[in-house]
Chains A and B, each alone.
Chain A
């Protein structure tokens, strides 16, 4: 572990940007200033995130503020997601929000509110994934809800306020369960550790997990799974998700689905590690397996019957988060690695599609798939990007979702879950049908005659193209550094000696990286 100023800078930049935007005077001249601050902030966050990740991959877990902030390879995955997807959706937001303000959908005052809360939201997510202090981790997850509530309700319409209310109530109540789980874990640690103060740090708890009271660990994990599972959008706590994702402005939907859900997932993985160390893998794995499978099963049908584009995509998020959790539940080096890879892949792909749904909204003024026809003729580039995104999400090669889905299914088969994998695969064919429906009906098809042809501006298309490039790069082959980072992260979850390199089915796997067991604080008893 090395102490570094990087995590502090990473957190300070978006927070400072949020404050700068908040105190900026409102008016047309300041809107330029607000946009400059925003772009500077998301660019700096992107660069700093990659620097922190690079540092971690070089073999040093980075800490700051004593032990309060901690970035190991597991956290690094999520830091990089926030950095990259935050940057691209943040760029996309420039064109999107300008359009909404110009067409009176948003008042100029909302312009400022949007960028202020966007940066605050990025800050809270970064805090959640860099916290080593488990109570601060909880505080940060709760703060992500509070920071994004106004973004969800930004349009101020009846439907968006309703969505914001459900989002805040369901998530704060859900996350209150997370607080209970956190408290139980902390008190458990404080009882048994020689230095009770250490029980607040995840690193100490994970290193001393064998000392913890097994019953309390189990109860705490159930609370944590309900609590942060609500935030991750797992069935049956997912009720807020389709409303919030569909009512939020599209760049925010992209951030919610692409990144926020994964931050909650990250916290679950942290507790999964403690629970596996304390009581063995069966308990938490079977819970994850059940919840993951149920999420996939229920959302597959909900995806199919939806006609609202953004709600359809939102239910897809429930399904894919379910699949990630299923992968974690399958366990083993391949299951964990594939789940982490799927978290990355889904993030890029879903951000692309939610940005695309913004283009659809701008062109058609509706999300109703019955009215959206012929996007490829009306807006060719948007149409192509949407088509690629939909095919990617459906799991066709050479796009990235195929690779990680394939690896999760292989892991399941390897661990002997034949029946479960066959049923899951069948369920996924339902959603493939739903996505083909988007492509055949809305991207292709005959455009309404009244429709004005012409695409949205390049300021919105270029970030989407960037996301598509990521989707393709990750689909053609798992890049070496990504494969290595995931191996290192898997080592954090299940120990260093059992990791396997991840590779697409047609790719020569990278040589097994030399993984050092995670350097945690020495057990103190």
Chain B
């Protein structure tokens, strides 16, 4: 099996893990699935690095491992674990079954879009490219379909993982500093969202986005 085939296979796994992140009932559980997904992403980076011979990608895989597999999930488990809103329940606007169906539609659409790209460099990794795009939109869908504000944070994380994968696929030799900048921003974004969510939980006594309705018009 060639490296590119492994990349494509792992990319498929990314969709599965992101569905797990979205449909997990507790945010702390989502955080663990997010760590798992990031581990798959690191796997993609390493495979890709070996296949195309990119030193930069190895460095990316290392930073991603530190930030996305360890740092961010640990912070999420610690900060989200203290916040609970029993009244909210799962906080899904649509049932898990519909979520899966929706994800399938998104993936199919993204395959259709990517099949139009004519760059020779991406011929072998088109499925992975389609997955990275789908991942981006799955994250967006997660934000729209979840009422639990903590789950919305995961939506952002999925979007970020999606764009990260696109970057790796299309520009494997980007300087490491690029990736460090993106990763740092992602870490800070999650920290700030978690702090705000904690303040909201303290002030409103809820994590339900539909209860944030003071401001209108």
CB pair B189 A180 closer than 8 Å? no
Contact code string A162-198 (vs B, CB < 8 Å = 1, else 0): 1111101100110010011001101100110000110
CB pair A179 B182 closer than 8 Å? yes
Q: Which residues of B contact A200 (CB under 8 A)?
A: 174-175, 178
B214 located at the interface, meaning its Cβ lies under 8 Å from any Cβ of chain A in the complex: yes
Stretch in contact with the other chain, from A53-61, A152-160, A468-476: A152-160
B104 located at the interface, meaning its Cβ lies under 8 Å from any Cβ of chain A in the complex: no
Residue from B121, B178, B212 in contact with A165 in the complex, judged by beta carbons closer than 8 Å: B212
Within 8 A of A (CB), among B110-159: 117-119, 121, 136, 139-140, 143, 149, 152, 155-156, 159
Of A146, A153, A172, most buried by chain B (CB within 10 Å of CB) is A172
Residue from B152, B185, B214 in contact with A159 in the complex, judged by beta carbons closer than 8 Å: B214
Residue from A165, A183, A215 in contact with B163 in the complex, judged by beta carbons closer than 8 Å: A183
Q: Which residues of A contact B178 (CB under 8 A)?
A: 135, 186, 200
Q: Closest CB-CB distance, A429 to chain B, in whole Å? A: 22
A273 located at the interface, meaning its Cβ lies under 8 Å from any Cβ of chain B in the complex: no
Q: Which residues of A contact B160 (CB under 8 A)?
A: 176, 179
CB pair B119 A158 closer than 8 Å? no
A213 located at the interface, meaning its Cβ lies under 8 Å from any Cβ of chain B in the complex: yes
CB pair B171 A187 closer than 8 Å? yes
Q: How many A-B residue pairs have CB under 8 A?
A: 122
A-B contact pairs, 18 of them (CB 8 A): A143-B185, A146-B189, A149-B196, A153-B196, A157-B203, A161-B200, A161-B204, A162-B214, A169-B143, A173-B140, A173-B143, A176-B136, A176-B159, A176-B160, A179-B163, A186-B174, A190-B170, A215-B118
Residue from A161, A165, A179, A311 in contact with B217 in the complex, judged by beta carbons closer than 8 Å: A311
CB pair B156 A169 closer than 8 Å? yes
Closest A-chain residue to B179, C-beta based?
A: A135
Known A164-B196, A213-B119; contact A172-B163, beta-carbon cutoff 8 A: no
Q: How far is the CA of A164 from the CA of B193 in the complex (A)?
A: 10
Binding site for A on B (CB under 8 A): 117-119, 121, 136, 139-140, 143, 149, 152, 155-156, 159-160, 163, 166-167, 170-171, 173-175, 178, 181-182, 184-185, 188-189, 192-193, 196-197, 199-200, 203-204, 212-215, 217
Q: Closest CB-CB distance, A359 to chain B, in whole Å? A: 23
Residue from A146, A157, A162, A168 in contact with B212 in the complex, judged by beta carbons closer than 8 Å: A162
CB pair A305 B217 closer than 8 Å? yes
CB pair B173 A190 closer than 8 Å? yes
CB pair B163 A139 closer than 8 Å? no
CB pair A135 B182 closer than 8 Å? yes
CB pair B203 A146 closer than 8 Å? no
Q: Which residues of A contact B199 (CB under 8 A)?
A: 153, 156, 161
CB pair A161 B196 closer than 8 Å? yes
Q: How far is the CA of A159 from the CA of B182 in the complex (A)?
A: 31
Report the interface size for chain A: residues with CB under 8 A from the other chain.
Answer: 49
Q: How far is the CA of A231 from the CA of B161 in the complex (A)?
A: 21
CB pair A165 B215 closer than 8 Å? no
Main secondary structure of the interface of A (DSSP, over half): helix
Q: Which A-B residue pairs are the 4 nearest by beta carbons?
A: A187-B170, A187-B171, A139-B181, A162-B212
Q: How far is the CA of A310 from the CA of B170 in the complex (A)?
A: 44
Closest B-chain residue to A188, C-beta based?
A: B170
Q: Which residues of B contact A183 (CB under 8 A)?
A: 163, 166-167, 170-171
Q: How far is the CA of A139 from the CA of B163 in the complex (A)?
A: 14
Q: Closest CB-CB distance, A183 to chain B, in whole Å? A: 5
A142 located at the interface, meaning its Cβ lies under 8 Å from any Cβ of chain B in the complex: yes
Q: How far is the CA of A247 from the CA of B216 in the complex (A)?
A: 12
CB pair A197 B192 closer than 8 Å? no
Q: Closest CB-CB distance, A305 to chain B, in whole Å? A: 7
A243 located at the interface, meaning its Cβ lies under 8 Å from any Cβ of chain B in the complex: yes
CB pair B192 A176 closer than 8 Å? no
A286 located at the interface, meaning its Cβ lies under 8 Å from any Cβ of chain B in the complex: no
Q: Which residues of A contact B188 (CB under 8 A)?
A: 143, 146
Q: How far is the CA of A149 from the CA of B139 in the complex (A)?
A: 21
Q: How far is the CA of A197 from the CA of B152 in the complex (A)?
A: 35
A306 located at the interface, meaning its Cβ lies under 8 Å from any Cβ of chain B in the complex: yes
Q: Which residues of B contact A199 (CB under 8 A)?
A: 171
A413 located at the interface, meaning its Cβ lies under 8 Å from any Cβ of chain B in the complex: no
Q: Which residues of A contact B193 (CB under 8 A)?
A: 168-169, 172
Closest B-chain residue to A213, C-beta based?
A: B119
